[in-house]
A and B are shown apart, each in its own frame.
Chain A
Amino acid sequence: ILNVEQSPQSLHVQEGDSTNFTCSFPSSNFYALHWYRWETAKSPEALFVMTLNGDEKKKGRISATLNTKEGYSYLYIKGSQPEDSATYLCAFYRGGADGLTFGKGTHLIIQP
């Protein structure tokens, strides 16, 4: 059983502040690490697919880093806005035709 852990489980952040949270995953048999944003009443939406150690990806105010040797990824949100409120999921991919193994997510609430 693959263990993908996300912390914290939930997070309250003041509007305008920056924040970050963590995803840890097995460091062996690594192929890719995915990040998704899941807003209430919507489908999870892909943010990043990361494959290389040291990779850093950015989309607007959101960025992510990857350390495959130690098995963790950080997601950063700069200048949080109310529309950033969502559950952020990371998922580990070990290759082949297997599906992704998801963490339980970090539930982010941006307070005006």
Chain B
Amino acid sequence: SQTIHQWPATLVQPVGSPLSLECTVEGTSNPNLYWYRQAAGRGLQLLFYSVGIGQISSEVPQNLSASRPQDRQFILSSKKLLLSDSGFYLCAWSLSGVRNGYTFGSGTRLTVV
């Protein structure tokens, strides 16, 4: 069966520090991968999506970047965190095709102080 792992679960980082959140998927090949963020009082916002190794599309210009070094690994990074980067970050995967729902990871609560 397919599983998705996301870590860490919580993170408190000072402003200006770097960030690395990792997400891995097991039990499937060539998934579409996504990073979403929920800021306080807002809905889930798509940050990045990837349809294959090294292929990253960004939905929103921001202080963050994403990489997909392996088929089932998706990494969210920042060189210098801002206060506005605080939020709940969710990784998700899906198979290609209009009828496939997303499977979400357990999320990372990031607080930038």
Contacts and interface: CB of A to CB of B under 8 A. Distances in A.
Interface residues of B, number: 24
Interface string A26-40: 000001101010000
Nearest to A46: B101
A8 interface: no
B7 interface: no
A82 interface: no
Among A4, A93, A97, A101, the one with the most B-chain Cβ atoms within 10 Å of its Cβ is A97
A21 interface: no
Nearest to A93: B98
Interface residues of A, number: 25
A18 B97 CA distance: 33
- Which of B34, B43, B51, B100 gathers most chain A CB within 10 Å? B43
A63 interface: no
A25 interface: no
Interface string B46-88: 1001010000010100000000000000000000000000000
A32 B104 contact: no
Contact of B34 (A34, A42, A45, A99): A99
A32 B99 contact: yes
B102 A31 contact: no
Residue of B59, B102, B106 ringed by the most chain A CB atoms within 10 A: B102
B13 interface: no
A44 B88 CA distance: 12
Interface of A: 4, 31-32, 34, 36, 42-46, 49, 51, 89, 91, 93, 95, 97-105
